[in-house]
Amino acid sequence: MSATDLMRLHVVVEGHVQGVGFRAFVQDQCMRLSLSGWVRNRWDGSVEVLAEGPRKELDTLLAALYRGPRSAHVSGMSTEWLDSTGELSGFRVRMTSNE
């Protein structure tokens, strides 16, 4: 697999990540990296991210998620790498989910 292969990254970020601009931070990062997908808060206090694009850019996003915006504190993340489906276009903030 090369760094240009398209992949899908699903991440759930835990910690002090709601009410601190985390979703806007993720959206800015993904738009800067030309990734497609979405970000949303979850009722359990975590933030969920689904992004598609080249593996190299997704690795860059993953490093940014560990840092988060200045007022956030990331205490844990679960990540899942999947094959790209190509069904996502653009990057948006979605409504809160109870999943």
Q: Of 8, 32, 40, 41, which one is the catalytic site residue?
A: 41
- 81 pLDDT above the threshold of 80: yes
Q: How many domains does the chain have?
A: 1
Q: What is the pLDDT of residues 39-75, one digit of tens each?
A: 999 999 999 999 999 999 999 999 999 999 999 999 9
Domain range enclosing 64: 6-84
The CATH number that applies at residue 79 is 3.30.70.100
E strand residue ranges, 3-46: 6-16, 36-41
Catalytic residue selected from 23, 40, 92, 98: 23
Instruction: Report how far residue 7's alpha carbon sits from residue 58's, in angstroms, rounded to the nearest whole number.
Output: 8
Catalytic site includes residue 98:
no
State which H helix or E strand residue 55 sits in: helix 55-67
Indicate the angle between helix axes 22-32 and 55-67, nearest 10 degrees: 150
Greatest CA separation found in the chain? 37
Query: What pLDDT digit, counting tens, does each position of 27-36 carry?
Result: 999 999 999 9
- Does residue 99 form part of some domain? no
Residue 41 designated active-site: yes
96 part of a folded domain: no
Evaluate if residue 1 carries a pLDDT over 60.
no
pTM above 0.85, yes or no: yes
